Structure 1
């Protein structure tokens, strides 16, 4: 998530822990879209850094770190709250301006410190109840033993969380089913957002990108969570609906490598805002537009 707003990797943006964000506000995606593209800008959900900015998006509701809480006299699930805030952004936006929203669902992130880890909505508890979630082929002591000694011997957070979630077959079934239930809830929330765009008559004119900031170990290699450079940890879904997409690419898949820094360029090019020369990444629409012509010349490091 941290390279995404400024299109810079950690060695350049220098934010490696959830402390202050070091990039100036006018070097973030939000400001460039807001100012350079004259868009109504919103951020909904998880941010993940304690940014020191006085400046803010036009609409901002940060919700993360919890799954179920009481707010305003009622009990909310965080995905339900993320969905409600996203719909409020869409319904209250000024109709005379284009809009941009980053809806950063907290799910399926676990609640750190809660041994239950994943708390789906009550309405989802019946999902997958009769299913059996397959165990990864590499969830073995042999696979974990192939990792370097320093990786196995020092306090390894991935192994610690494996014990919390996957140490026994029954525990893993419980954790994975609750994880899948929460993923299904996010899917339903995305459906509600798309339906709202459709009801407003703007869905066919809106660029929609679905992705996430990291993959996850679900006991592969004897690990849990993220952090380490295996495929399970670094690969993420990427689904794009773009009104500019050439018809022959609609409904297809593409095996090209993309990075999160490419998201920033793709969005800025779409709204007509110039990326900063220091920003890394490329406009991904080159992969699905026959008529692709960049709005701006590439920065020197891409020539």
Structure 2
């Protein structure tokens, strides 16, 4: 009897020790990956066994949004836990200030004793002041660095920090899997908890899939989404159809070469899936799998022909809503194939990683800890999120917007009202209309819902006005996106933004 009691005490002590041990963290992010590219998100045409298994082992999230659906701003949001207008980082606006970076999750985790590594497309650089000419990547802020500037390259040999992997893995996607494998091997022997962050370039264009996987989708026919084609985007605002996303439906082959284009797109994601398998095998091989939390997501979605669009940026579901999976092997909910319908966003990653490490979340962060949803998939952490585009893609203000989304509704405000345009509102009942086929903004039956979403929108804009950065040309948008002002009152802000666009 005494022996049984002693054994129970030993087991309980061991469990308590494990519970107090800081978990390792692996954060994996693809580039331009839509939700319907994964089997675990309902696509029977694709082959993604490792990511699907990750979802089965952990939890998949069905309402996860990138608050800015473009690479640079989204990656800065992930690192800082802040909306774009607070970290002040995006194409045509400017890179991140060093003081903002100092409160990012990689810096804070390393200061707390984590061994950190980054590989892949970093997405932005740092400068000391908004006007400083010197830009640099924060390679020295990681214990191991495999990152690169700009868009990086699919040819491993062209990525300076990854050249050591070029011979065995000439295509970058698997080289990042190998980088992760080797870091896990070394970090598991260091005695420190570790955080590995990998940002795959795939499936971002240019279309350069690894030829190793040419046979995976050879000759396949792919099911088109139900909202595919121009006829399913006629109800969208005139503003939404002015940018390059509209032209790319034809330019990138979705109109007349759909199966060919999608085969290569899915092939690039299949290679990511193989890399995810490499990383999970390394966790198992080095005995750290049971204490490593894994997160998988994408920096933004991709239209792939839905509504007659290509690319991303716009506020619609295919562009902003992306896959997100968390696997925490320490938690009893793991292995139950659970899903959460809670509203979540890319502002939530930094707070989550810090909380997992037992660290306080800085007050400047806008996101929330995701792990209460892992504990209770029926719970909620957000009532609404802001979605935005202030990226200058064509020296025009037409495609810039501010929107807000709840679990069930989405409201989009298009402010541009010159040169033949009128300001426009869009309202979608996502619970009943997940494909966004009917704009309910003019439907009297949705009058109360529209007014409620307008008020939610106004609160997000007030937050921007109160906490947004004063540099990198963000302040004029507080005026441009104010739906209570008429166009003439916005003229000074429009002039300021137009002047900036011409200078660029």
After TM superposition, is the score higher than 0.5?
Answer: yes
- The yes-or-no answer on 1:66 pairing with 2:127 is no
For the pair shown, the structure with the greater C-alpha radius of gyration is: 2
- Find the partner of 2:228 among 116, 119, 139: 139
- Find the partner of 2:181 among 87, 100, 118: 87
Query: Secondary structure of the equivalent of 2:251?
Result: helix
Other-structure match for 2:83: 9
Length-normalised TM-score, structure 2: 0.53
Query: Secondary structure of the equivalent of 1:173?
Result: helix
- Find the partner of 1:32 among 108, 111, 121: 108
* Paired residues for 1:144-163 under 5 Å: 144-152=233-241, 154=242, 156-163=243-250
How many angstroms apart in 2 are the aligned matches of 1:124 and 1:81?
A: 15
Other-structure match for 1:264: 350
Other-structure match for 1:208: 294
Cα deviation for residue 232 of structure 1 reads 0.9
Other-structure match for 2:172: 78
* Paired residues for 1:210-289 under 5 Å: 210-247=296-333, 250-289=336-375
Query: Secondary structure of the equivalent of 1:61?
Result: strand
Contact 1:68 1:119 in 2 (8 A): no
How many angstroms apart in 2 are the aligned matches of 1:249 and 1:180?
A: 26
Name stretches of at least 5 consecutive residues in structure 2 with no aligned partner.
Answer: 1-74, 127-135, 377-462, 464-504
| 1:199-238 deviation per Cα after TM superposition (whole angstroms, max 9, x unaligned) | 0010011111111111110100111111111111111111
Other-structure match for 1:98: 193
Superposition RMSD in Å: 2.2
Query: Secondary structure of the equivalent of 1:254?
Result: strand
Structure 1 segments of 4+ aligned residues over 4 angstroms from their partners? none
- The yes-or-no answer on 1:125 pairing with 2:214 is yes
| 1:68-95 deviation per Cα after TM superposition (whole angstroms, max 9, x unaligned) | 3545574711102211222222223352
- The yes-or-no answer on 1:42 pairing with 2:131 is no
Cα deviation for residue 23 of structure 1 reads 5.2
How many angstroms apart in 1 are the aligned matches of 2:335 and 2:182?
A: 32
| 1:125-145 deviation per Cα after TM superposition (whole angstroms, max 9, x unaligned) | 111223211233333332343
- The yes-or-no answer on 1:21 pairing with 2:115 is no
How many angstroms apart in 1 are the aligned matches of 2:156 and 2:260?
A: 22
How many angstroms apart in 2 are the aligned matches of 1:230 and 1:127?
A: 30
Cα deviation for residue 99 of structure 1 reads 0.4
The verdict on how the C-alpha distance between 1:7 and 1:23 changes in structure 2, with shifts beyond 3 A counting, is: farther
The verdict on how the C-alpha distance between 1:265 and 1:69 changes in structure 2, with shifts beyond 3 A counting, is: closer
Other-structure match for 1:166: 253
How many angstroms apart in 2 are the aligned matches of 1:12 and 1:246?
A: 37
Query: Secondary structure of the equivalent of 1:41?
Result: strand
How many angstroms apart in 1 are the aligned matches of 2:334 and 2:154?
A: 41
Contact 1:39 1:98 in 2 (8 A): yes
Length-normalised TM-score, structure 1: 0.85
* Aligned length, in residue pairs: 281
Query: Secondary structure of the equivalent of 1:209?
Result: strand
How many angstroms apart in 2 are the aligned matches of 1:249 and 1:127?
A: 28
Contact 1:125 1:181 in 2 (8 A): yes
Cα deviation for residue 249 of structure 1 reads 7.4
Contact 2:110 2:116 in 1 (8 A): yes
Cα deviation for residue 35 of structure 1 reads 0.6
Contact 2:88 2:95 in 1 (8 A): no
The verdict on how the C-alpha distance between 1:287 and 1:69 changes in structure 2, with shifts beyond 3 A counting, is: closer
How many angstroms apart in 1 are the aligned matches of 2:254 and 2:358?
A: 50
Other-structure match for 1:293: none
